């Protein structure tokens, strides 16, 4: 995936329509594939996770294998989650000043451009890495520095180290 071309497509998409407030590409496991443009990174991650969870539940409930798009419309604006490529999704945040049909059409065109770019990179042949044997580890002789008497005896070991665990009790 050529991230520079992908980012250029996203930036051009945002500049063509002033009603679009933010865009980001998200993988099927919820990772951001591009830097969010116009959306806070934490918000983008949360929204991506929510839409992926919704898509997963929809797959199960409707017994379908493919969802083209999920949209959330409110008085403040819209959020549209669109599939661009297998396991790659485009999340778009927009205002309400643009008609929803025109917005969907522009998102569809941007998703098609992204899909073409992702497809071009997927068609490139991959060269398998040659496996070379790992070099043998070098063993250094024991030095007297590790047994140094300059360090007080009570500070040499881990016995005096406090380890705190703030997770769930086991």
The rounded percent of the chain whose pLDDT value lies above 70 is: 70
Higher pLDDT among residues 99 and 139, named by residue = 99
The predicted-structure confidence for 60-117, as pLDDT tens digits, reads as follows 888 777 778 888 898 889 999 999 888 899 999 999 888 888 889 999 999 999 998 8
* Per-residue pLDDT at 109: 92
Hunting for tokens 């493919």 — which residue is that? 66
User: What's the CATH number of domain 3-120, 3.20.140.10, 3.40.50.300, 3.40.640.10, 3.30.450.30?
Assistant: 3.30.450.30
Q: For 32, which DSSP code?
A: B
* Per-residue pLDDT at 165: 47
Q: Residue 72 to residues 4, 51, 75, 161: CA-CA distances in angstroms?
A: 29, 10, 10, 52
Higher pLDDT among residues 73 and 170, named by residue = 73
Q: Which band of pLDDT confidence, cut at 50, 70 and 90, is reported for residue 169?
A: low
Higher pLDDT among residues 137 and 155, named by residue = 137
The C-alpha atoms of residue 77 and residue 135 are separated, in whole angstroms, by: 58
Angle at 40 between CA 57 and CA 118, to 5 degrees: 65
| Contact criterion met (CB below 8 Å) for 6 and 114 | yes
The predicted-structure confidence for 3-30, as pLDDT tens digits, reads as follows 889 999 999 999 888 889 999 999 988 8
Distance from the Cα of residue 118 to its chain's centroid: 15
């Amino acid at each position: 995936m050529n991230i520079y071309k992908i980012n250029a497509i996203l930036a051009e998409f945002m500049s063509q329509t002033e009603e679009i407030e933010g865009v980001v590409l998200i993988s099927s496991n919820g990772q951001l594939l591009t830097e969010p443009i116009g959306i806070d990174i934490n918000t983008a991650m949360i929204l991506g996770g929510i839409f992926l969870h919704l898509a997963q539940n929809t797959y199960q409930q409707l017994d379908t294998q493919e969802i083209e798009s999920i949209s959330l419309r409110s008085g403040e604006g819209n959020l549209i989650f669109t599939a661009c490529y297998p396991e790659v999704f485009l999340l778009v945040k927009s205002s309400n000043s643009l008609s929803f049909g025109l917005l969907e059409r522009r998102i569809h065109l941007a998703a098609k451009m992204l899909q073409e770019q992702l497809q071009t990179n997927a068609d490139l042949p991959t060269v398998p890495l040659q496996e070379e044997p790992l070099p043998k580890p070098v063993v250094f002789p024991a030095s007297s520095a590790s047994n140094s008497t300059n360090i007080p005896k009570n500070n040499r070991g881990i016995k005096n180290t406090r380890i705190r665990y703030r997770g769930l009790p086991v």
